[in-house]
Structure formats: C-alpha cells, structure tokens
Structure 1
Amino acid sequence: MHVVIAPDCFTGTLTATQAAEAMAAGWHDTAPGDTLTLLPLSDGGPGFLDVLAHALGGTTVALTVSDPLGREVPAAVLVTGDPGDRTAYVESAQAAGLHLLAADERNPALTSTWGVGQLVRAALTEQPRRIVVGLGGSGTNDGGAGMLAALGAGPAESLARGGSALATAPDDALSGLLAVRGELADVELVIASDVDNPLLGFKGASAVFSPQKGATPEVAQELEAALGRFSEIVARTVPAPTDLLTGAPRRLEREPGAGAAGGLGYALMLLGGHRVSGVQLVLDAVGFHDVISGSDLVVTGEGTFDWQSLSGKVASGVAEAALGAGLPTVVLAGQVLVGRRETMGLGISGAYAVAETPAELEAAMLDPVGTLRARAARVARTWSPAR
C-alpha cells in the first residue's frame, strides 16, 4: 500500500515536517511494509517558506525583522527564478505570527504588522517581477497598517501602535500611500491567503479572528471600530478601484480575503495585490497531483480540525485534490471539532483526534511527537491491509 502523508503544521507544537515524520513513524510501527511518501504542506501560514524552499529551491535571504511587539526576530525571503523573472516569497507569520507571542502577550489591540513591511521591503531589494505574501497564523489585527508604515505610507506613531490605536489616527495618516503604490506598480503582488473573510462586519477580522489572538469581546468591538476608522482614512486618501465588469467602485474592505491575517489582506489589496488560494499555490508548487498518482491513500492533518478547516485550509485542499484523483483522505489532528457529516462533504473518509479528553490534550501538548505517532499507528490498523 502506498500512503502519501501531507500535513500542515500543528501550530504551536510541530512544524509540518515534524508532523509528517511523526505520522510516518507511527504508520511504520503498524504497517512496516507500506510505502510512505512524506509531503509537508502549508496554506500560507507558518512553514510556508520551508515548504516552498524544499519544493522550488531558490535562494534564501536571511534578515532580522520586528515581531508583533517590536522585538527582533530572524526571518527570510525566498527568491526563485532568473534575473528579469524573479519571484520573491514572504511568510508574514515570520514577523506577525501568533507563535511569536507568549500566552500573556497575546493582545491584538497592541500588536503590529511593521515587521511584515520590513519583509516586503527586503523582497523589493531583490528586484522581483512578482512578490508572493503568505498569510496565516497571525497575532495581529491592525488592518496591515503597521506594514504600510514600514513601507513609507505613513508615520509609525499613527499606524504601527496596534489595531486599537487606529481609532485616533489622523485623516492624513496615509499621506505616503500613493507613493508606495507607485513603487510597487511594476511588481505583481500575490496574496496567498487561507481565508475569504472581509475586513469588517460579523464575518470580519475583528469579530471572527481577534478572540483567537487574545481579544476580549470588548476589545474585539474596539478593534472593529478602529478598522472602520482606518477604512475611512483610506477612502479619503486613494480613489476606490473600479470593477471591470460593472464599472462600479469596489469596496476593498468588503473583498474576500481582506480580513485575512487581521486585515493584512486589506493592506496588500490597497497596494494592488490580488488574492489566490494559499493551499492551492502550495499544492501546485510541490506537484501534488503527480505525487499522489499511483498511491492508495492520502493522510493529512493539522493542530485543530474545526469549521475553519472546511474551507481554504490544507486539509480541505488536500481532500479536494485527492477526491479528484479518486483517492480517500483521512485527517489526523490534535483535536477534531467537526462532525462526520461535515467531513464527508469534503470527501474526507475519516477524521481522528490525538486528544479527545482534557487529560489527553495535556499529554499531547507535553509530548506532541509521541502522541501523534501513537495515534497514527492506531489509524494504520484501520486503513492498512499490509499490517
């Protein structure tokens, strides 16, 4: 039996590569005769650059940037292609990731995307024709204002003090935005996003994602109002783009994906960026369809398999691609929070949790490799006839 093991990272505990290796070890414990192909994946969040570097090669340019609280952290830009046709890849989580913050530091009212702007600036120095920015796993909710400030769109004291501070930003806070847009005019800016939420509203960045980053209900409301103020400043500064089909003005704050990474998608759209599926971009880069050709089963996974996993994430992207090839997919996750009806609708034949009780969850956090390996071994007993 040929099994392709293609997980995302288990955020906060395992990289995608570590997760794939743990799953493979467990599977081999039960079914040593099976052929296993390891294919770590990403949807644009943590691990995006590692996965692409392994698949595409290229040159990794190391640098130091600011984390969400302004501390220096290591980061990189991946550059592929020849002069005149270069692509620079940026992983926003390297500068704005939730994993960079301790539990008691997680407060999206205060965190900034300034470091993402430093990454984009570093990418520009490589003279690329295209910049691809992976979004996901952020600990910020500032609408990308910090990133814009780092690129020169406005003063840091107005834009880079966190999401809540945008509520008092002056009307001219983005006075340099047009100049930054001009600087990027000849560069294709691609937003590799795992979500399609707008910037504002009940499905927007503040309402849906800020609680996961440490916001209380009161702070989430403050952030919603602050991002509303930010969009007003944008409207005063730059004209709205025109819909090519209807001729009507486009409200970028309502665009799918504008709310990704705490509104970082919105800021990148202001700079001319267009959104693509992050997981599909990665699947294409690693040649997923060729890899699964001739295999019998695909195993994917992530830290928490929940309602967000059902659209735009690695698990759903893998299941859709495998279904198109007539292959079953199973999911191994730290926790499974959706039912069989939802998973079957994606073409997923089974979803298995490493932790099903509080005690098991605590054990999984203390030994993520060992518990994932043990769960994979049990799943192999069900799925592998070679055991």
Structure 2
Amino acid sequence: MTRVVIAPDSLKGTISAADAAAALADGWASVDPDARLIPRPMADGGEGTLAAFAAARPDAARMPLGAGRSGDPFWLLLPPEPGAPRGTAVVELAATCGIERVGTGRPFDAGTEAFGAAIAAALDHGVSRLVLGIGSSASTDGGAGVLTALGARLLDRAGAPIAAGARGLLDLERVDLGGIRELPETRVLTDVSNPMTGPRGAAEVFGPQKGLVDPVVRARVDAAMGRLAMLCGLDPATPGTGAAGGVGGALVVLGAELLPGAAEVAGLIGLAEAIAGADLVITGEGAFDGQSAAGKAPSHVAALARAAGVPVALVAGRIAADAPLQGFAAAVSLTELAGSAERSLAEPDRWLRAAGADLAARRNGRRGAGD
C-alpha cells in the first residue's frame, strides 16, 4: 500500500491549505484508491495557520470570539502536554484583522486591536503557551493595537489615547507599559526577517501592498514606528520586528520569541513523524519561484522529506523559470495543467484534483492524468 503525506501551503487568495490537501488526496485516490493518504496542510504563520493545526490536531478545540457565529474569528486550544500543562493557544492574526478579512480600503485606519483581544481571550482562559501566527497583516500600526488590547496606554500630546492604525501612530507622544499583561511562553510564527523601520522596514516594504502607496506618507509612518520603538525600549533594526506591520516588534517588547513559521508549524503538527516511513510527500503553494527556498513552507517540507530519504513532489499554481526545482521527484504547474492562469485560478480545487491524479498515475507507471 502506497503511503502519501500531503503537506501543501495555501494557494493564497484561491484555496486554503486544508482544502488544497483534500483536493490533492481526492485526485490521488481516483487513480490509487488503496493508497493511505495522510493530509498535513502547512502554514508559515499567515492565513491558514489555524486550519493547518485543526486538520493535523483533531484534539484541538475551537474557541470562538464574540458571538461565535459562522465566520466569526476564533482561536484554537491544544490540550495539555509536557511544558504546557494548561494547554496551548494558537491565535492567527489573519483570522482576526488580516488583509483577507478587512481588505486594503483604509490603510491608515487598519489596526491590530482584534488580534490583541484574541490573545487576551486566550490569556483569560489560562493557557500555558501561546503560538501566534502573524502573517497576512492589513495594518502598519507597529503593533500599537496589540499593545493597547493587552493593557498598554499609547497617548498623544494631550494625554488622550491615540486612534487606531497608522493614523493614531502619527500622534503618539507617550507609552505607558505599566498595566501590560504578562505573557506565558510565546512563540511568534513569521516568515519575515525585516526590521521595523528603514528601507527594508514594515512601512517601506509592505506598506504599498496594504494601500500605503504615497512615499511621503510611508516616510511619516516609518518615523512614527521608530518613535514607538524608542518609547518601548526596542531596537527597530532587530530582524523580524517589521513583520505584520510592526506587530513582530510589539511582541518582542512583550518578551515573545520570533521563530521561522514553517519550521515551527511543522514541529507542532508532527510533520516529520508523519513523513517517516512514507513512500512520497506532496507539497506546494500558489507561486513557486526563486524566493521560495528562503523559509517558505514547501522548501521546509521538502527538506524534511529529503532528511527522511522520502521523495517529494511539488504542486504549485505557477512555477517560475527561476524556481529551485532541484531535488523534487516531480513538479506540476496548475497553470500548465489547466492551460492558463485564469482557468487554474477560477477552479483551483478541480486542477489540484487533476494534479493529484497525475502524480498517482506517474507513480503507478501510467500516462499522466489530465482533467
């Protein structure tokens, strides 16, 4: 019986990692119904992190925020284990105030209070450990909203609380951390190593994709984030502090540890253990290119597979000409399979099923299976 571990990241903007893994599994099963298919959807701290944990950890409890209606944000509670006797909370920024949730229409006003409130809810529950995914941010507020939600006072010249988002950050004159809540062991998942400020900082590098397109405005926001860092006793040049519009820096102020997201998720969902003894691993993401080797989920999955002596196949929405494909036993582009980017983007689940069937057919020595 063929044993296949299926560990893709999300195809950003089209399909989640969990749904991508399910579609690949369906396609494989259509050719090889006797195979043992083990889904381990991956994430790097951004959108899909909660779904990856939920798929890999059936013992996790969904903890709703607000009224708990369908579509409302939530966090996950992992059961007690050594080192975390009261459980571990997994909180995802993308699920509370990420760019997929709030869009880019008001980049000056987008804040991170909702993420801070979710962390506070987990603290109220009394967890022993926090795992915080901070990718897919819509804000450039330096983590001011997170600090405020956890008890800090960020004040303007008149001593009044500043407004949310980058707009409020421009008025910041004083920070009072006296009432801040203490965090337990806190691991922050990110694939970003940018500093908080400067040419590679949060405003300059990530601001435009969130709607901060005016370079004069970005320079003002960059300066304001530098002032926040100074008032908090943070070196804004610290790698990773620019993650999520500066949320990385705010969490460092609170004593959290910034970690490579893909590696940490893989460890927490037991990916290496799942790969041990497998016949094949399938991984992938939306666009696989020259930057994909630098800490992205597929490259980490591939490294784990190679360390275990297991062949690994890649499935991606698009595979660029400069993509590092050395070491992959097979690579499937959904764009090529569908005939165009438009078709693959319109029906990602259909073409992922076709990719799964194609890989199973190759494995079984048959001709490639299309759709």
Shift of 1:84: 5.2
Shift of 1:106: 4.2
Shift of 1:119: 0.6
8 A Cα contact 2:45 2:133, kept in partner: yes
8 A Cα contact 1:61 1:77, kept in partner: yes
Are 1:229 and 2:231 counterparts? no
Alignment CA distance shift 1:238-1:165 (3 Å): closer
Shift of 1:356: 4.9
8 A Cα contact 2:18 2:51, kept in partner: no
Report matched runs for 1:1-387 at 5 Å.
1-32=2-33, 34-56=35-57, 57-64=59-66, 74-82=72-80, 85-102=86-103, 105-155=104-154, 159-166=162-169, 168-172=170-174, 174-175=175-176, 177-180=177-180, 183-184=181-182, 187-216=184-213, 218-219=214-215, 222-235=217-230, 237-240=231-234, 251=235, 253-337=236-320, 339-340=322-323, 342-344=324-326, 347-356=327-336, 360-385=340-365
8 A Cα contact 2:202 2:222, kept in partner: no
Q: Which blocks of at least 5 consecutive residues in structure 2 are unaligned?
A: none
Q: Tell me how far apart the structure 1 counterparts of residues 49 and 93 of structure 2 sit (CA, whole Å).
A: 9
Shift of 1:369: 1.0
Shift of 1:49: 2.0
- Cα deviation, 1:355-378, whole Å, max 9, x if unaligned, reads 259972222232221122223333
Amino acid paired to 2:179: A
Q: Tell me how far apart the structure 1 counterparts of residues 3 and 365 of structure 2 sit (CA, whole Å).
A: 11
Q: With the length of structure 1 as denominator, give the TM-score of the two structures.
A: 0.82
Alignment CA distance shift 1:291-1:133 (3 Å): same
Q: With the length of structure 2 as denominator, give the TM-score of the two structures.
A: 0.85
Alignment CA distance shift 1:24-1:73 (3 Å): closer
Q: Tell me how far apart the structure 2 counterparts of residues 84 and 29 of structure 1 sit (CA, whole Å).
A: 43
| Matched residue SS, 1:301 | strand
Shift of 1:142: 1.8
Q: Tell me how far apart the structure 2 counterparts of residues 198 and 361 of structure 1 sit (CA, whole Å).
A: 34
Greater Cα offset, 17-26 or 203-212: 203-212
Amino acid paired to 1:75: P
- Cα deviation, 1:36-56, whole Å, max 9, x if unaligned, reads 322212222222223223434
Q: Tell me how far apart the structure 1 counterparts of residues 21 and 258 of structure 2 sit (CA, whole Å).
A: 28
Shift of 1:304: 2.3
Greater Cα offset, 128-137 or 201-210: 201-210
Q: Tell me how far apart the structure 2 counterparts of residues 352 and 200 of structure 1 sit (CA, whole Å).
A: 39
Q: Tell me how far apart the structure 2 counterparts of residues 109 and 356 of structure 1 sit (CA, whole Å).
A: 39
Shift of 1:322: 1.0
* Structure number with higher helix proportion: 1
Alignment CA distance shift 1:164-1:85 (3 Å): same
Amino acid paired to 2:140: N
Q: Count the aligned residue pairs.
A: 356
8 A Cα contact 2:196 2:225, kept in partner: no
Alignment CA distance shift 1:64-1:224 (3 Å): farther
Q: Tell me how far apart the structure 1 counterparts of residues 317 and 38 of structure 2 sit (CA, whole Å).
A: 21
**Equivalent in the alignment of 1:245:** none
8 A Cα contact 2:172 2:224, kept in partner: no
**Equivalent in the alignment of 1:248:** none
8 A Cα contact 2:41 2:55, kept in partner: no
8 A Cα contact 1:209 1:262, kept in partner: yes
